[in-house]
Amino acid sequence: MIPPSTADAGGDVPQSRPSVHVVAGVITDARGRILLARRAPGRELAGLWEFPGGKVDPGETPDGALVRELREELGIEVDIGAPLMVVPHLTPSRRLHLDVRHVRAWRGTPKGCEGQALAWVQPGRLARYDMPAPDRPVVAALMQPDRCLVTPSPGEDDGPWLDALAGALAAGVRRVQFRLHGVDDHRRRRLLAAALQSCGAVGAQLLVNGDAALAQEAGVGLHLPAAQLRGCGSRPVPAGQLLSASCHDADELALAEALGCDFALVGPVQATPSHPGQPGIGWARFEALREHVSLPLYAIGGLGVDDIATARSHGAQGVAAIRGLWGDGPAGQPGAAAAASAR
């Protein structure tokens, strides 16, 4: 397990490693397939599949470097599109920043100019390709939701809570952590059944907070609060059933990864009313935690939809939030009780 000190931004060990900025392109064809290249024999990480690209040379812009790399490696001329994400990743010898951009258009036919094999891969099959560790969050960013709603506790009536959930789903939320504190078992089950129905109707994933038995019974995912994560000796739900965890330090993240969690929530990144008096850890600390593990991470704490691009630029899958993603309108505003119990 990684001692927490090595994850500190500014800690001696990570800082002493040279930084390498690598740019890579997500090239998508008209059928939606993505181009992967296989690292040639004799090279570092030989045999692994990657998004084509390479190191940014001194004096180059990242876009300029990617244009050059794709010309050299694939023989194509590209127009660079939107940034997908930047993954900070610590290897034994260096600190890598894998900076991945969409390729908007290209001219020519991609060829393996350096003898590397190429494959056009349906996004749903990317996970079958053996790729370097920093690519795992990139594949997740291509495939999985960029936001994760954490539900607030309801007020006296179920109606406004269900309306707000419907509002969040209508606004595009596709991953929901069902978290109701201070609600009796009967009401929790009733709201879960209703939530399952509305999530099911739009294909949104649901994870129950902290109750493995209920998650199993309902056939949904499980989210582990940090205290439960620390007490888990093995994966509490079968592989194939979603598992996530709340993590606040490098030890918890290492544990979540070892347990086979599909993703984790890390924060609070900024100060938030649900954690009064607690300052956020900030993006530098988030990155310092991110670079030790390759599991997808949502940044949580005072964030909303407008922060997704920033979160991605620090290596996050996106944002997780209560307030920031809850349905609009007065009925959807989480009350003070929800805010007070939000951890």
Ligand X SMILES: Nc1nc2c([nH]c(=O)n2[C@H]2C[C@H](O)[C@@H](COP(=O)(O)OP(=O)(O)OP(=O)(O)O)O2)c(=O)[nH]1
State which amino acid sits at residue 325. Answer: L
Shortest approach of Mg ion to residue 55 CB, angstroms? 7
Among 98, 168, 199, 226, binds ligand X (CB under 6 A): 98
Contact between 247 and 266 (Cβ < 8 Å): yes
Shortest approach of ligand X to residue 35 CB, angstroms? 11
Shortest approach of Mg ion to residue 318 CB, angstroms? 27
Q: Which is nearer to ligand X, 44 or 306 (CB)?
A: 44
Q: Which is nearer to Mg ion, 23 or 338 (CB)?
A: 23
Q: Give the CB-side neighbour count of residue 59, counting CA atoms within 13 A.
A: 0
Count other C-beta atoms under 10 Å from residue 185's C-beta: 9
- 54 belongs to the binding site for Mg ion (CB under 5 A): yes
Contact between 313 and 86 (Cβ < 8 Å): yes
- 112 belongs to the binding site for Mg ion (CB under 5 A): no
Q: Which is nearer to ligand X, 60 or 211 (CB)?
A: 60
Q: What mask, x for binding ligand X by CB under 6 A, covers residues 127 to 156? A: -----x-xx---------------------
Shortest approach of Mg ion to residue 123 CB, angstroms? 22
Q: What mask, x for binding ligand X by CB under 6 A, covers residues 52 to 91? A: -xxx-------------x----------------------
Strands 34-38 and 49-50: antiparallel
Q: What three-state secondary structure class fits 296? A: coil
Q: What is the DSSP string of 171-189?
A: TT--EEEE--TT--HHHHH
Contact between 224 and 232 (Cβ < 8 Å): yes
Which H or E run includes 169?
Answer: helix 158-170
What would the two tokens of residue 240 be?
């194939």
Shortest approach of ligand X to residue 285 CB, angstroms? 23
> Which one of ligand X, Mg ion, none interacts with residue 268, CB within 5 to 8 A by kind?
none
Q: Which of 218, 161, 197, 198 is nearest to 207 (CA)?
A: 218
- 51 belongs to the binding site for ligand X (CB under 6 A): yes
Residues that bind ligand X (CB under 6 A): 22, 24, 44-45, 50-51, 53-55, 69, 96, 98, 132, 134-135
